[in-house]
């Protein structure tokens, strides 16, 4: 004779909470990695802009020094 359970079948089926918890943690970790990736891209873009500004300053200083040297040499050429 077969024993018959009354009520919902979900009360008797096994539920693997560990798998669900692991999947939820993986989704959270993926979201955190995506956010970190976006922040790093923003920082990299800011560093590129800063590097351009520094090179602009360096080239401006070099042009100023070259011009100053040329003006100092002009009186001696006459």
pLDDT digits (tens, 9 = 90+) for 5-26: 566 666 666 667 888 889 999 9
User: Across residues 30-42, what is the average pLDDT?
Assistant: 98
Alpha-carbon torsion, ordered 25, 27, 29, 31, to 10 deg: -150
Q: Count how many domains the chain has.
A: 1
- Whether residue 11 lies inside any domain: the answer is no
Residue 11 neighbours by CB under 8 Å, 6+ apart? 5
pTM over 0.75: no
By residue range, what is the domain housing residue 72? 17-77
Secondary structure (3-state) at 16: coil
- Whether residue 30 lies inside any domain: the answer is yes
Residue length of the chain? 78
């Amino acid at each position: 004779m077969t024993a018959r359970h009354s009520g919902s079948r979900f009360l008797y089926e096994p539920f693997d909470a560990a798998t669900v918890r692991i999947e939820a943690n993986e989704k959270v970790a993926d979201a955190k990695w995506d956010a970190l990736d976006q922040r790093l891209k923003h920082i990299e873009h800011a560093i590129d802009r800063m590097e351009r500004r520094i090179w602009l300053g360096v080239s401006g200083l070099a042009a100023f020094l070259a011009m100053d040297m040329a003006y100092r040499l002009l009186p001696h050429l006459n």
